[in-house]
């Protein structure tokens, strides 16, 4: 598997990362606006259409380059794939608490604030659940390395199909999402071959995407998308569709902004919550925009652009710890070369 994986940055992979992160911000922005104003807009339809594939593709891309690093020694592996994410999770969970503390104290008091903060280490806090889960997925993948991949995949698929609903995010989302992460890992060569085919036969790729869009839309809006087996199928097919879309977009050479978002997807993911909430509040209080769909788009744009602006501002300053793990938090020396991944670069 290792020998079949390309090295260096790959345009469609970064574009796919950008596609994923924009859709994640869009989902949070749209649902937040709808909840705040008490009704839905046209963007809710887009969010609903994307539900079957939005997070499956995010996790599949996360596992795409795992074969390049899974055989590293445990110390290096844990540093790159566990400590790395824990650093950003703890940092940005704390930042979110700073902004939410007044409301929590008003409702639950100082003891409640302390309790909520401690619970953030057990139950993923807010929008940060994705980077809370990734270290777990990386550890599971390495621990199960000696097990035949078909056995691991079938167990992961069975957990997604179950479905499991304990109320604990770590358990429920691991059961629901690990199969996509593992699929990205074990089927990486196939995924890259699919991307190559779409790049060479774009018309066939467009035809396939048209069929997928109809199938996904029918099942979603008919209410079947969350059924056992159907959700797994739509997640896998939808992830493949996002790969195809990203290849065609990258091939066009006209979506540099989206590719850039993908290159810095972790920046957007970590910091979008504040501009999203601030823009939503501003638009609602001023009333300058009445349409819920338009408001959702504007909030999404703010959630994408403002984190990138913050990233540009702190680069080369002492505040760069917001997006770059300081050396004192490394278990090993920093690598000389970065690996293309959806997660924070190594």
Dihedral, CA of residue 16, residue 19, residue 24 and residue 28, to nearest 10: 180
pLDDT at 337: 47
**How far is CA 73 from its chain centroid?**
26
Q: Which two tokens stand for residue 137?
A: 């997925």
What is the rounded average pLDDT of the residues 148-160?
98
Residues 45-58: pLDDT tens digits? 999 999 999 999 99
Q: φ, ψ for residue 223 (rounded to 5)?
A: 85, 15
Residues 25, 44, 229: CA angle, nearest 5 degrees = 85
Read off the pTM.
0.92
- The predicted model gives 70-82 an average pLDDT of 95
Rounded Cα gap, residues 330 and 333, in angstroms: 7
Q: pLDDT digits over 227-275, tens only? A: 999 999 999 999 999 999 999 999 999 999 999 999 999 999 999 999 9
Given this model, what pLDDT does residue 333 score? 75
Token pair recorded at residue 255: 């979506």
Domain boundaries, the chain: 2-329
């Amino acid at each position: 598997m290792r020998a079949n994986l390309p090295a260096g940055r790959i345009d469609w992979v970064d574009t796919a990362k950008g596609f994923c992160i924009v859709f994640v911000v869009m989902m949070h922005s749209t649902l937040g606006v709808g909840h705040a104003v008490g009704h839905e807009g046209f963007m809710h339809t887009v969010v609903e259409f994307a539900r079957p594939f939005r997070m499956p593709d995010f996790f599949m891309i996360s596992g795409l380059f795992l074969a390049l690093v899974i055989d590293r020694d445990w110390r290096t592996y844990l540093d790159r794939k566990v400590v790395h994410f824990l650093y950003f999770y703890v940092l940005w969970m704390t930042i979110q608490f700073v902004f939410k503390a007044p409301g929590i104290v008003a409702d639950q008091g100082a003891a409640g604030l302390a309790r909520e903060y401690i619970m953030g280490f057990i139950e993923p806090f807010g929008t940060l659940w994705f980077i809370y889960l990734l270290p777990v997925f990386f550890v599971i993948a390495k621990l199960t390395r000696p097990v035949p991949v078909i056995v691991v995949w079938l167990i992961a698929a069975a957990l997604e199909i179950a479905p499991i609903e304990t109320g604990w995010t770590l358990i429920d989302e691991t059961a629901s999402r690990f199969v996509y992460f593992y699929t990205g890992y074990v089927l990486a060569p196939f995924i890259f071959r699919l991307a190559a085919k779409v790049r060479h036969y774009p018309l066939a790729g467009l035809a396939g995407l048209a069929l997928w869009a109809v199938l996904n839309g029918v099942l979603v809006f008919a209410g079947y998308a969350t059924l056992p087996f159907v959700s797994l199928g739509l997640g896998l097919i939808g992830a493949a569709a996002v790969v195809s879309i990203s290849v065609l977009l990258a091939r066009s050479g006209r979506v540099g902004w989206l590719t850039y978002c993908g290159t810095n997807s972790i920046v957007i993911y970590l910091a979008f919550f504040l501009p999203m909430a601030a823009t939503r509040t501003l638009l609602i209080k001023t009333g300058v925009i009445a349409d819920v769909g338009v408001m959702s788009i504007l909030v999404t744009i703010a959630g994408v652009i403002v984190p990138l602006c913050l990233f540009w501002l702190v680069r080369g300053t002492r505040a760069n710890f917001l997006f770059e793990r300081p050396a004192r938090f490394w278990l090993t020396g920093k690598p000389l070369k970065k690996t293309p991944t959806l997660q924070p670069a190594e």
